[in-house]
Structure 1
Amino acid sequence: MFDLYQLSEDHEELRRAVRDVVDNRITPYAAEVDAEARYPREAHEALVATDFFAPHIGEEYGGVGADALAVAIVIEEIARGCVSSSLIPAVNKLGSMPVQIGGSEEIKAKYFPRVASGECGFSYGLSEREAGSDTAGMRTRAVRDGDDWVLNGVKTWITNAGESEFYTVMAVTDPDGPRGRNITAFVVEKSDEGFTFGEKERKLGIKGSPTRELFFENCRIPGDRAVGEVGDGLKIALKTLDHTRVTIAAQAVGVAQGALDYAIGYIKERKQFGKHIADFQAIQFMVADMGMKLEAARQLTYVAAAKSERDDADLGFFGAAAKAYASDVAMEITTDAVQLLGGAGYVQDHPVERMMRDAKITQIYEGTNQVQRLVMGRKLLA
């Protein structure tokens, strides 16, 4: 059941390159981005300049064609310094993955080069306020009108909404059709008439990544913007999540690593009772557990990434497992990092409180961890 993965020298060289970019051009702005709840423009520009903006886009569309493991490493390393910034490549993959899975060559050629170049971002419109985990219960509608489609409805919790130029949107195209097989995927462009955005949500964490609602009021789009066959939208959406849950796991591993690194540096310098905090056995046990769980999460994430690259039949289980385990571990490690710093961990002078707030979302988005456990249980019992 468990297939090995192989980290090549190219992967390690990639890690070093991303880490250099993060340390010099992303982390220095992370606290400011969080405090001002502003889009991380510095990170955006740095990622475009270094081809880390959408590394998954294939070479045939002007991208670098990074494999799924390489993309996971990119997201992990960015999240180590700034989780909000790591959502730039993560959401570009999430938004464009349905097109990659089900789109025609024409629609790929139309959109992928502009994403690969960094000109445009790509977001994902699946969730609604009354259809979060129950995706098949969505109410957004798309109705044929001649050769066009007309969309009406609201999508909620859309990451990088307003910043991205393109959106893969799921809408019901046959209200009387079988549940889950009556939904179609469409590409909507930011400039489309009848397409607008809500106000930015005020959030616990990832404050640098804007989250807004998408409003469709008689939004007319050409018929060639449908992704895949009519009625296959939910199938494409769920297959997308099998792949992109790996990126959330990578994000969780990254923020956990950042918190552990910072906490270790702090306890090796801070003294109490005449010796460094790191010299106390109880603290060493705590750090050992943090490191052990983090490495287990990383290994599971990398295995899932390798399965994503091969599109293995058991990806659904491993993607869910990696996302659930890594995000639970990230929440635990970032909370423990705050504890290791004591009172200092609770104030914004140190980054671990931000990391703890940012880590929480990894347990929720792209399917709550309760849903991940449902997915895993059903896969194992099938």
Structure 2
Amino acid sequence: MFEWSETDLMIRDAVRGFVDKEIRPKLDELESGELPPYPVIRKLFAQFGIDAMSEEAVRKSLARERAGESAGESEENAQDSMMAVLISELSGVSLGLVSALGVSLGLGAATIRARGTLAQKERWLADLMTMRKVASWAITEPDSGSDAFGGMQTTVRRDGDDYILNGQKTFITNGPYADVVIVYAKLDDGTTAKRDRKVLTFVLDSGMPGFTQGKPFKKMGLHASPTGQLFFDDVRLGRDRLLGETEEHGSGDGRESARSSFTAERVGVAFQALGIIEECLRLSVDYARARTLWGQEIGRFQLIQLKLAKMEVARINVRNMVFNTLERGRAGKPPSLAEASAMKLYASEAATDVAMDAVQLFGGNGYMQEYRVEQLARDAKSLMIYAGSNEIQVTHIAKGLLADSATKR
């Protein structure tokens, strides 16, 4: 794949029309938190029929699972291409909105789809895939950060056939308003050392006794994405809320589940970065043509041309990463965690560099909120931190390389 298909371009143009009509006029409300992202996302889903298509896809998938059949790959690949276009286009106008959407679908719903029993999928999946309900995905804790598993302090202990959950999570996208929450916790069996304890994954619903959702944080960027803390105080959970309804490693252990989600999340960062880069480049080219100094367009100055050229190189590189990922998915060869980490590392740095260059190109105007590049720069920086900081990506890339080298000997 080296370019978007005609269908992809039709979707792109339609999304741009929606963005111009429904999102750009509401950016101030989204950025201030006055307007949550969810009504906008639901309107997008309704206008493009994504909600109806998603519900039908869930219905067919569950029917196939009941019959013991596998999912249809061509259908899933078509949706992957559509979502890539949707994510990149929306990221250029409101990365916070995309973050809220991406976590709910790409982490919350996807974890239930990949790890849940048929009964669990029937219970939660349709509402989440249609965005009737919003999901959050809770693994990060105040004292764990990149040491997500080793430093995890949130615990569950067995109590008869139930589990009792205690602890807290932080920096949780959609946390303040989520209807459904995927929570990772360590099993306190009274004997295993804390760092070695089994990680289990549970599904909670808002309003459960002992479960508190904190208020949204105030952040540097991603203002349209509500982020907050979750608190668990003796929350009683039945086994029907344990994903897979088993503790067995490889089926119920949360480490494997989370790592799979890490891969998808980091690939998604490349899609988001592409949207920011394309929007920064578009705005910068327009400004370089319109802004005059010393009697000529600033686009005639070589230093301005250098910035534009570097932006275009970044756009081509990140777009090629996106295309390569989509093509590999169609071939049944998705990227490994190390490869996804490499994509995330490069794309997030490229988007941040491009956005900061855009601010510099705009000069004093670029530092003003009236000009969009200020928001894009704040949002782009978040890509270097969430989905695992870029420092931890280096570790995953190196471990992947060293493991491959040892295998090939």
The answer for the alignment partner of 1:21 in structure 2 is 18
Pairing 1:113–2:126 present: yes
Where does the alignment leave 5 or more consecutive residues of structure 1 unmatched? none
CA distance in 2, matches of 1:256, 1:284: 16
Alpha-carbon distance, 1:345 to partner: 0.5
CA distance in 1, matches of 2:187, 2:24: 44
The answer for the alignment partner of 1:124 in structure 2 is 137
Q: Deviations over 1:54-97 (max 9, x none)?
A: 98787033799553333222111111111111123211211122
Where does the alignment leave 5 or more consecutive residues of structure 2 unmatched? 62-74, 404-409
Identify which of 289, 292, 296 aligns with 2:313. 292
The answer for the alignment partner of 1:75 in structure 2 is 87
Q: List aligned pairs for 1:204-353, cutoff 5 A.
A: 204-228=220-244, 229-230=246-247, 231=249, 232-307=253-328, 312=333, 314-353=335-374
The answer on whether the counterparts of 2:141 and 2:152 sit within 8 Å (CA) in structure 1 is yes
The answer on whether the counterparts of 1:25 and 1:42 sit within 8 Å (CA) in structure 2 is no
Identify which of 34, 37, 40 aligns with 1:40. 37
- Secondary structure, aligned partner of 2:388: coil
CA distance in 1, matches of 2:56, 2:336: 21
The answer on whether the counterparts of 1:197 and 1:212 sit within 8 Å (CA) in structure 2 is yes
The answer for the alignment partner of 2:165 in structure 1 is 151
CA distance in 1, matches of 2:50, 2:22: 13
Structure 1 residues 276 and 26, CA gap change in structure 2 (3 angstroms): same
Runs of 4+ in 1 over 6 A off after TM superposition: 53-58
Structure 1 residues 376 and 55, CA gap change in structure 2 (3 angstroms): farther
Q: Deviations over 1:247-282 (max 9, x none)?
A: 122112212221221121111111101011112222
- Which of the two has higher C-alpha Rg? 2
TM-score, length-normalised on structure 2? 0.86
Structure 1 residues 53 and 89, CA gap change in structure 2 (3 angstroms): farther
Alpha-carbon distance, 1:313 to partner: 6.4
Identify which of 149, 160, 175 aligns with 1:161. 175
CA distance in 2, matches of 1:168, 1:346: 38
CA root-mean-square deviation: 2.4
Alpha-carbon distance, 1:45 to partner: 3.3
CA distance in 2, matches of 1:113, 1:162: 21
Alpha-carbon distance, 1:40 to partner: 2.8
The answer for the alignment partner of 1:11 in structure 2 is 8
Structure 1 residues 27 and 144, CA gap change in structure 2 (3 angstroms): same
Q: Deviations over 1:217-275 (max 9, x none)?
A: 11112211111342511111111111121112211221222122112111111110101
The answer for the alignment partner of 1:142 in structure 2 is 156
- Secondary structure, aligned partner of 1:349: coil
The one-letter amino acid of 1:282's match is L
CA distance in 1, matches of 2:14, 2:177: 26
Query: Which stretch shifts more, 267-276 or 168-177?
Result: 168-177
CA distance in 2, matches of 1:126, 1:54: 31
CA distance in 2, matches of 1:266, 1:117: 39
The answer on whether the counterparts of 2:176 and 2:215 sit within 8 Å (CA) in structure 1 is no
Alpha-carbon distance, 1:100 to partner: 2.1
CA distance in 2, matches of 1:177, 1:19: 53
The answer on whether the counterparts of 1:69 and 1:305 sit within 8 Å (CA) in structure 2 is yes
Alpha-carbon distance, 1:198 to partner: 1.9
- Secondary structure, aligned partner of 2:181: strand
The answer on whether the counterparts of 1:298 and 1:326 sit within 8 Å (CA) in structure 2 is no
